[in-house]
Every structure is written in structure tokens, then in C-alpha cells.
Amino acid sequence: MVVEKEDFEDYYDLRIDCPVLVTERLVLRAPHEEDVEDLVALADNRRVAEMLGRMPHPYGETEARAFVANSKLTGLGGGVYALTLADNGALVGCAGLTRNERGLELGYWVGEPFWGKGYATEAAHALVDLAFRATDINALHASCRVINPASRRVIHKCGFQYAGQGMLNSLVAGKVPIERYRLDRRTWSSLRSWARS
């Protein structure tokens, strides 16, 4: 893979302090030890894990505790969030900004009981805004499995543009094809008043 010059420039300092983010229906906050039971209940689902690269299946208490502990590591850049409902604090999934060879990448997952309610899009909008406001990146990246139309819709609603295909080494599904997307700062600036849909 050839790294474009502007993407390479984005790589230098991608640390984000990870403030609590509040949207219309969600509170995005750091994962806590108290989330372990709910993490297991939502993440121990093959249908969720098959769409992700780093989520194992089965997913038990050991994996949830490791996830919470690793979310506190700040030296790698980006940040990890628990997605919780604003009205009752229920955990619905997780999202984050991860540093990789292309720069900063948006990722998210929502537990199956909460699919189809627009929570992933709401969280993604908040994290896209955070990425561009808290860093000097020129572009933000996202990807999804080619068989994941729900994730593709979230990515499109955030203004990302198709940037090609690649392969993902998924812990559960093996080597799988993905679609890559890119959102540049100029496009983000023109879309700051997100259309709620």
C-alpha cells in the first residue's frame, strides 16, 4: 500500500483527550468496569463479531475486562467510547477513533437489540466532529465489510466518500473483503450541520 503524502502528515499526533460527548439521545463516555456485564451481553454475538476485525467470539468477561483496561491506554492515539442512552445510561455499543497506517479511522458497533434505531449514525457524527476539531488531520477514514449495508449507510450519512477496496483480517471471519471510505476536512466543514435522518 502506498501512503499518500497528506495521509502521512496526519499520522504525527492523533491523541484525543476523549471528553464526554452528549448527543440528542446518547452519552459517549469512557468504558468503565461497571460496563463489563453489559459488554458481554451485547458483544457475545457472532453477528456483531463477524463484522469487526478485532472482536473475538465467544466474548466473555475476560475479553470485556481486557477491552475496558485497553481503552484507558492513551499513547496509541484516538480514543474509545461506550455508547450509552442519555435517558437511562444503558449501554448500546461502543465506538472510537483508532490510529492505523492511514491515520485516524472511525469504528463502531451496536448491540443487536439496538439495531435500526440510528444510534450508530448519531455516535458516528459526534466522533467525526471530534476527530476534526481535536486534531489537525486532513482526512478521516472508515471501512466496512462488503456484506454490511447497515454500516455502509452510517458511513454515507456521515459524508464519507468511497476510496477503494481492501482486505481485513477478522478474528472471527478470517480474511474478508472490505470497502474503504474517506472524509476530508473540506467536505466535513461543508457538512457540519448534519442532516438528521
Residue 30: pLDDT over 60: yes
Q: What type of residue sits at position 30? A: A
Residue 196: pLDDT over 60: no
Q: For 162-195, how does the pLDDT look when each residue is reduced to its tens digit (9 = 90+)?
A: 999 999 999 999 999 999 999 999 999 988 755 4
Helix axes 61-71, 36-43, angle to 10 degrees: 120
What lies within 8 Å, CB to CB, of 184 at 6+ separation is 138, 139
CB atoms within 10 A of CB 133: 10
Average pLDDT value over all residues in the chain: 89
Supply the pLDDT for residue 76: 58
Q: What type of residue sits at position 7? A: D
Phi/psi of residue 83, nearest 5 degrees: -95, 120
Residue reference for cell 474478508: 176
H or E segment at 189?
helix 185-190
Is residue 191 within 8 Å of residue 159, measured between CB atoms? Answer: yes
Strand-by-strand arrangement of the 174-184 sheet? 21-22, 26-29, 79-85, 91-100, 103-110, 139-145, 174-184, 161-170
127, β-bridge pairs:
none
Q: For 100-118, how does the pLDDT look when each residue is reduced to its tens digit (9 = 90+)?
A: 888 899 999 999 999 999 9
Supply the pLDDT for residue 8: 43
Residue 84: pLDDT over 80: yes
**Closest-CA residue to 181 (of 140, 125, 150):** 140
Supply the pLDDT for residue 77: 65
Report the chain's C-alpha Rg in angstroms.
Answer: 16
Calculate mean pLDDT across residues 82-101. Answer: 95
For strand 79-85 and strand 103-110, is the pairing parallel, antiparallel, or unpaired?
unpaired
Share of the chain above pLDDT 90, in %: 77
Phi/psi of residue 100, nearest 5 degrees: -145, -170
Supply the pLDDT for residue 116: 97
Residue 52: pLDDT over 50: yes
What's the pLDDT band for 72 if we cut at 50, 70, 90? confident
